[in-house]
DNA sequence: CCCTTTATTTAGACTTAGTTTAAATTTAGA
DNA sequence: TCTAAATTTAAACTAAGTCTAAATAAAGGG
């Protein structure tokens, strides 16, 4: 059996996602490839992101905006986005199990996945906002 | 001051969203207008949905898929989507307050909004799936 | 009422994010 | 080395929605 899979292009893209801490979009990734002097076709970036997602090496996030973001943190976690500056941060606090059981009881579903997005104002924005007001 | 606002076209669209229980997309709404023999321009449907959302008469949901869905239930609630048949149901169970406080403590954000999407298998799909297996 | 101003609707062009197609290139492995 | 399968590529295409500019409709002062 062939187990190449992780071609040069895919590796470049995986590295960018792994090293990023800002949950980059496909377009961010294209920009960063250009900055590195690497030339990867537009369609290859999308194909690679799909491949890496299917392989479970990265995960696709649909948060604010139209463009998907990508995350190489595979531990179970959620996200919070600042409505003032747009930054996306991790939410590692676990979802209360008994709350999930309650939702299953309410809806009759058996839950297999949670996609939770919180919105709010980050510490930095609260600080600079206060400064601006004073 | 003028307070027309709710024009004939906007009212038609508000009624469709209000009477629907399936969180319809813009395209669903266009289909239902056609079924009613009503003719509303494509752009007007989108303009109206934005207007109604801005007025707080309906809310826009970004769940699975590319198209926004619309909901006239304005009470604070969340959604769950069946990964087998695609139906979208309401989740009325409240978010645990102390959990939100925990997330605020973890992230440093002050949370202003929660957009929670659960995925799972609905009761009907579990039943028919069991039948298929037997 | 009549006229002017403002709001709304409309058709169609345009945009953004992503997918598909078909040819060219690369790689695997017999 | 040679062939078949996998991957990359450029460019066409799609889906969902926005924008533009003209046409229509409503408002409100006189
Ligand atoms: Mn993350
Ligand atoms: Mn709902
Ligand atoms: Zn911020
Ligand atoms: Zn179902």
For residue A47, say whether its CB is under 7 Å from any atom of strand C: yes
Q: Judge contact between B73 and B90, C-beta under 8 A.
A: yes
Q: Could you tell me the pTM of the whole model?
A: 0.90
| CATH code for the structural domain at A75-134 | 3.30.1490.190
Q: Is B134 on the interface with A (CB under 8 A)?
A: no
Distance (Å, whole) CA B106 – CA B100: 10
Q: Dihedral of CA A31/A35/A41/A45: which sign?
A: negative
Closest CA to A111 of B92, B91, B63: B91
What is the residue-level pLDDT of chain A in tens, covering all 134 positions? Answer: 445 589 999 999 999 999 999 999 999 999 999 999 999 999 999 999 999 999 999 999 999 999 999 999 999 999 999 999 999 999 999 999 999 999 999 999 999 999 999 999 999 999 987 655 54
Which pLDDT does position B1 carry in this prediction?
41
CATH topology assigned to domain A1-74: Arc Repressor Mutant, subunit A (1.10.10)
Phi, psi (5° rounding) for residue B101?
Answer: -60, -40
Q: Is B123 on the interface with A (CB under 8 A)?
A: yes
User: Exposure pattern of B11-29 as b/e (b: 16+ CB <10 Å)?
Assistant: ebbbebbeebeebbbbebb
Q: Is A20 exposed, middle or buried (0-12, 13-18, 19+ CB in 10 A)?
A: middle
pLDDT at B109 over 90: yes
Distance (Å, whole) CA A55 – CA A70: 14
Phi, psi (5° rounding) for residue B125?
Answer: -65, -35
Distance (Å, whole) CA B131 – CA B123: 13
Which pLDDT does position A128 carry in this prediction?
84
List the B41 CA – C13 C1' distance (angstroms). Answer: 15
Element containing residue A19 per DSSP (H, E): helix A8-19
Q: In sequence order, what are the beta bridge partners of B116?
A: A116
Distance (Å, whole) CA B45 – CA B9: 8
Q: Within 10 Å of residue A6's Cβ, how many Cβ atoms?
A: 14
Which pLDDT does position B118 carry in this prediction?
97
User: Which whole-number Å values give the CA distances from A51 to B52, B56, B85, in the listed order?
Assistant: 39, 40, 25
Between B126 and B131, where is the model more confident?
B126
Residue with nearest Cα to nucleotide D9 C1': A41
Token pair for residue A60? 């696709």
Distance (Å, whole) CA B114 – CA A86: 15
User: Which whole-number Å values give the CA distances from A62 to B16, B27, B103, B109, in the listed order?
Assistant: 27, 21, 20, 20
pLDDT tens-digit map of B49-58 = 999 999 999 9
Domain residue spans in chain B?
Answer: 1-74, 75-134
For residue B118, say whether its CB is under 7 Å from any atom of strand D: no
Which pLDDT does position B83 carry in this prediction?
93
Q: Is B67 on the interface with A (CB under 8 A)?
A: no
Which of A90, A103, A119 lies nearest to residue B112, judging by beta carbons?
A119
Q: Coil, strand, or helix at residue B91? A: strand
Tokens 């792994």 locate to: A18
- Interface A-B, measured as beta-carbon pairs within 8 A, has a size of 109
Q: Within its chain, how far is the Cα of B88 from the centroid? A: 8
Which pLDDT does position A5 carry in this prediction?
81
Which pLDDT does position A2 carry in this prediction?
40
């Amino acid at each position: 059996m062939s187990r190449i899979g992780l071609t040069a292009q895919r590796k470049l893209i995986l590295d960018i996602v792994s090293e990023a801490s800002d949950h980059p979009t496909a377009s961010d990734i294209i920009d960063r490839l250009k900055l590195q002097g690497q030339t990867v076709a537009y369609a290859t970036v999308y194909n690679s992101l799909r491949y890496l997602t299917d392989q479970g090496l990265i995960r696709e996030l649909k948060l604010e905006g139209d463009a998907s973001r990508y995350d190489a943190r595979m531990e179970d976690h959620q996200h919070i986005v600042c409505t003032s500056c747009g930054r996306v941060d991790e939410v590692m606090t676990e979802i209360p199990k008994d709350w999930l059981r309650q939702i299953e009881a309410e809806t009759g579903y058996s839950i297999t996945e949670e996609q939770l997005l919180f919105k709010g104002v980050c510490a930095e924005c609260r600080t600079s906002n206060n400064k601006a007001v004073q």
